[in-house]
A and B are shown apart, each in its own frame.
Chain A
Amino acid sequence: MSAESSVRIGLILPDVLGTYGDSGNATVLRKRLEWRGIEAEVLPVRLGDVTPSSLDLYVLGGGEDDAQALAADHLSKDPGMQRGVERGAVVFGVCAGLQVLGRAFTTSDGVTHPGLGLLDVSTSPGERRSVGEVVVQPDPRFGTEPLTGFENHLGITTVGPDSLPLGQVVRGTGNGEGTEGAVSGRVLATYLHGPALARNPELADLVLGWVVGLPLPPLDIPEVEQLRQERLARRRAR
């Protein structure tokens, strides 16, 4: 956490990487801090703004092909987030965010774009779009409760030796090779929408624990438990 009293969450390019409701992740992170008495603020960093390197946490969402290429190009020229990571800031990315954080991604038009290199992953188009509910068993280092989310992507992502997968797919596609997501240090990304952190409070608190520097006590939110029961029960029903 920075010297300032408030946790500063950067919502990176919500105008570009905001197609799939992933901005909700920033809302979830802020509320989970506030409900524990920790001040937090969300700073949207839009196209045309300079990305501050001083933020505690950077959140990236999903977007469409053109928008994703635009985001990667923009963020490589405006490296505030990358400098933040060098200082120990935390990054949480989803879908296009995952691909942009990687070394390279190829869009459906066959063009390969360089990524930001914060994760050791690379992505190329698969044969068909993966669309639907996903269940993931996280790597024990990153959680114990199953992760639930909704995926919608064409990309197949390969995780290299410098990153760890976030978990193993129980249902759905994920990265496309049986794993889901990727983690390097304090940079974590996943294909799960939903938004991911609304459905998976343990993952939200893992990320927040990295930011505040100590594990956080659980929050009891009955609505979230009810939603998890519904979403995870579907796995057994099918």
Chain B
Amino acid sequence: MLVTSDLPLRTRFAIAAARTAAAVSRRTGRGSGGMIGGRIALKLDPHALQRLARGRIVLLVTGTNGKTTTTLMLRRAVEALAPVTSNSDGANMPDGVLAALAANPDAPFAVLEVDETYLPWVAERVDPAAIVLLNLSRDQLDRVGEVRKTERELRAAIARLADTVVVANCDDVLVASAAGAGNHPLWVSTGQTWRDDSIACPRCGRAVRHHPQDKMEWDCVCGLVRPRPEWVLDEDDLIGPDNPPERLELNLPGRVNAANAALALAAATCVGVPLSVAVQRVRSITAVAGRYQRVPYAGHAVRVLLAKNPAGWCETLPLLEPDQPVVIAVNAREADGRDLSWLWDVPFERLRGRRVIATGERAADLAVRLRYAEVDASAQPDPLRAVASLGSGPVELIANYTAFREVNTRLADVG
């Protein structure tokens, strides 16, 4: 096991400086401390990540949607074995990852959420025992660039990791292409049906064929074919290679969270957590970083949900309680993506007949989208003012990344 005193002086100094900066950042309210702390440590000791990961079992979680939730699930499951360090604040860039490793240098396990574009860089340094690869879809097109480029980079990175198990969603064509490059893929069928980003084969550019009878099966003339899954999520039952079906019965809503759990549970069994123990621990999760739970605000029980791209919205719309008013908050900062065209790929038409308020820094863009969807909506930049303006009763508040963060901070301050 690694203890802090085993580290070179330079790394110990870097960690101490990082902790000081993180504490200052938290005290001054500028952030949770993870990012700034990590950035300083990497400056002071460029090899800090390697040193902090050495001798530990590192599990990485990446993909477009569900990283934070799946990271929490995997962390909870692995904690059945030993202490785990994790970036549960969602700080998933290299500095956030480093901050998480430095926060508990004695924990034998690290479960780390990593931004998909930084995964190659991080994986090369921490030599992960396993990577969980959730899904790949269009997200922040202006910043990340094309999702297919991300897939190619992940594929190249995974090909270089000789001993890493890649726990991957075989129903996502891009994921299957990337994870298939590794020596040890572990395929999980999550029942995902978002296909809009994988019409052209990621390997050869020709059209991916979907089986006319079995809608989960797909292949391409170039030879890329849906891998046979070892784990299958069938409705709420998870069927593993060695176990009887395990009913999930999660406290988190939606098909999407069952899919996240299937991948987290398959990964947890890889490091030796018995499936039934892992399921029980995952089941105990009722909220993820401010999501899903109802928070009181101005006489309303507000449920805050994160949806930051079309695939995420497709999973979120079915979760909404019927008849409850919906407040939607949309920003277009750097971390959100500056281009809001994706709002037109979300079937907002399904909100017709509801009370909807368009909010956020880009409420005007959303209001136009809702107008063309013939949803009767008003606009108000401030999401919490919008909540307060509604008649009493529960409210669904759906926000994209930076809007979500802001709302959560403000709700926590009130509470």
Which A residues form the contact surface with B (CB < 8 A)? 15-16, 18-24, 27-28, 31, 47-48, 64-67, 69-70, 129, 131-133, 150, 152, 193-195, 198-199, 221, 223-224, 226-227, 230
Contacts and interface: CB of A to CB of B under 8 A. Distances in A.
Interface stretch (B74-82, B367-375, B397-405): B367-375
Interface stretch (B104-112, B140-148, B319-327): B140-148
Contacts of B344: 21-24, 27, 195, 198
Contacts of B197: 19
Nearest to B371: A223
Given A70-B206, A131-B142, A223-B368, A20 B200 contact: no
B141 A31 contact: no
B345 interface: yes
Given A24-B343, A198-B372, 8 more contacts: A16-B199, A19-B141, A19-B146, A20-B141, A31-B374, A67-B205, A132-B142, A227-B364
Contacts of A224: 368, 371
Nearest to B149: A64
B196 A15 contact: yes
B379 A21 contact: no
A109 to B, nearest CB: 10
A132 B142 CA distance: 8
Contacts of B217: none
Nearest 8 CB-CB pairings of A with B: A24-B344, A21-B341, A66-B205, A227-B364, A21-B344, A223-B367, A15-B199, A193-B341
Contacts of B368: 198-199, 221, 223-224, 227
B144 to A, nearest CB: 11
Interface string B22-64: 0000000000000000000000000000000000000000000
A198 B369 contact: yes
Given A129-B145, A198-B372, A22 B341 contact: yes
Contacts of B145: 129
Interface residues of B, number: 36
12 contacts: A19-B138, A24-B344, A31-B374, A64-B147, A65-B148, A67-B199, A69-B205, A132-B338, A150-B341, A194-B340, A223-B367, A226-B379
B142 A150 contact: yes
A69 B365 CA distance: 31
A227 B368 CA distance: 7
Contacts of A31: 372, 374
Interface string B337-355: 0111111110000000000
B371 A193 contact: no
Contacts of A152: 141-142, 339
A65 B342 CA distance: 19
B339 A227 contact: no
A24 B341 CA distance: 8
Interface string B297-322: 00000000000000000000000000
Contact of B146 (A15, A23, A64, A70): A64
B1 interface: no
Contacts of B373: 27
Contacts of B369: 24, 198
